[in-house]
């Protein structure tokens, strides 16, 4: 480990013993740690060498939905700051700042479509499992969607890079296995549409989270998301997946704030 390396630790809610121990070990070996923390004055915040608070407010949900979104915004701001220190152009800086300012209104626009998301979720709760897929920036979004669905609905869900679907997972696609696809309107749109065609050819149901309407032959349902800058689009694409998990859990009668077997504070490995 390089002594002059800066490490970044994230604490979205509660105190996490293994995170605190990792920070202490990094510091013992000469590393500096920047914390991205929601709980003001927490042990992790006190232990870090510096950092920034999310100021997302108290997080009731164990699955930390709003703090996840706030963390993504915080990293966007951190990336913007570091980029300006190096070689990010003023024009790109202004473009990203304008995109950040647009986020609240765009999230409100997504929330206005909650009933549609609830209707889609109600149609998924009987499935034995489902795939979440995405490419490049869309893949981490797919992973977050699968994680949230598992945590609160207890439905089995797995996330895969869309480019790897033919390397095994496609064998599981059938009329009872829905796929939630992240389909941003970017330079990979054609590849994503081709993947949807592969799934539909095997009669797999498809829910697309996309910037535009899609051909009905490629998706059974489309959840529209406003377009922002490419660097910020994953923040908006994640929000309807949180809503999807929430409404699936509600349809199944689960407590979305206190999912079984999970706790906000992890004190053991």
Assess if residue 103 is contained within a domain. Answer: no
In this prediction, residue 180 has a pLDDT band, given cuts at 50, 70 and 90, of very high
Residues 133 and 236 in one domain: yes
Residue ranges making up the domain that contains 72? 6-88
pLDDT for the residue numbered 15: 52
What pLDDT is stored for residue 268 in this prediction? Answer: 47
- Domain co-membership, 15 together with 117: no
If asked whether residues 177 and 220 sit together in one domain, one would say yes
pTM value is: 0.87
Q: Looking at the predicted structure, is the pLDDT value of residue 6 above 70?
A: no
pLDDT of the residue at 256? 85
One domain, residues 126 and 195: yes
Q: Are residues 231 and 159 in the same domain?
A: yes
Most confident among 47-61, 75-89, 250-264 (mean pLDDT): 75-89
Residue 126, phi-psi category: left (phi > 0), alpha (psi -120 to 50), beta (remainder): alpha
Residues in the chain, total: 269
Is residue 191 domain-shared with residue 246, that is, in the same domain? yes
Q: What average pLDDT does this structure show over 67-87?
A: 91
Per the CB < 8 A criterion, the answer to whether 245 and 149 are in contact is yes
Beta strands in 38-85 (DSSP E): 50-53
Is residue 136 domain-resident? yes
**Least reliable range by pLDDT among 102-111, 121-130, 202-211, 251-260:** 251-260
Q: What is residue 143's predicted lDDT score, i.e. its pLDDT?
A: 96
**Which residue do the tokens 């994953």 mark?**
234
Q: How much is the pLDDT for 267?
A: 47
Number of structural domains (the chain) is: 2
CATH number of domain containing 163: 3.40.50.10490
| Paired tokens of 141 | 């979004």
Q: Where are the beta strands (DSSP E) in the chain?
A: 6-11, 32-37, 50-53, 130-134, 157-161, 179-183, 206-210, 221-224
Which residues lie closer than 8 Å to 164 by C-beta, 6 or more apart?
A: none
């Amino acid at each position: 480990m390089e002594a002059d390396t800066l490490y970044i630790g994230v604490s979205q809610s509660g105190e996490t013993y293994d995170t605190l121990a990792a920070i202490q070990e990094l510091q013992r070996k000469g590393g500096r740690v920047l914390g991205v923390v929601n709980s003001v004055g927490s042990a992790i915040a006190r232990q870090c060498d510096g950092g920034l608070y999310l100021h997302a407010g108290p997080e009731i949900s164990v699955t930390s939905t709003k703090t996840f979104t706030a963390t993504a915004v915080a990293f966007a701001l951190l990336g913007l700051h570091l980029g300006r220190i190096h070689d990010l152009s003023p024009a790109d800086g202004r473009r990203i700042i304008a995109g950040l300012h647009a986020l609240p209104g765009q999230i409100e626009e997504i929330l206005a479509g909650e009933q549609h998301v609830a209707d889609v979720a109600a149609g998924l709760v009987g499935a034995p499992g489902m795939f979440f897929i995405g490419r490049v920036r869309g893949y981490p979004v797919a992973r977050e969607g699968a994680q949230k669905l598992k945590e609160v609905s207890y439905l089995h869900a797995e996330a895969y890079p869309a480019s790897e679907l033919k390397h095994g997972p496609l064998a599981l696609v059938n009329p009872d296995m829905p796929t939630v696809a992240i389909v941003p309107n970017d330079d990979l749109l054609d590849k994503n549409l081709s993947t949807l065609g592969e799934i539909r050819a095997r009669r797999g149901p498809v829910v697309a989270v996309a910037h535009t309407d899609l051909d009905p032959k490629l998706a059974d349902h489309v959840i529209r998301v406003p377009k922002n800058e490419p660097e910020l689009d994953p923040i908006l694409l994640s929000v309807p997946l949180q809503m999807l998990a929430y409404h699936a859990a509600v349809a199944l009668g689960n407590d979305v704030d206190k999912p079984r077997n999970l706790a906000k504070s992890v004190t053991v490995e």
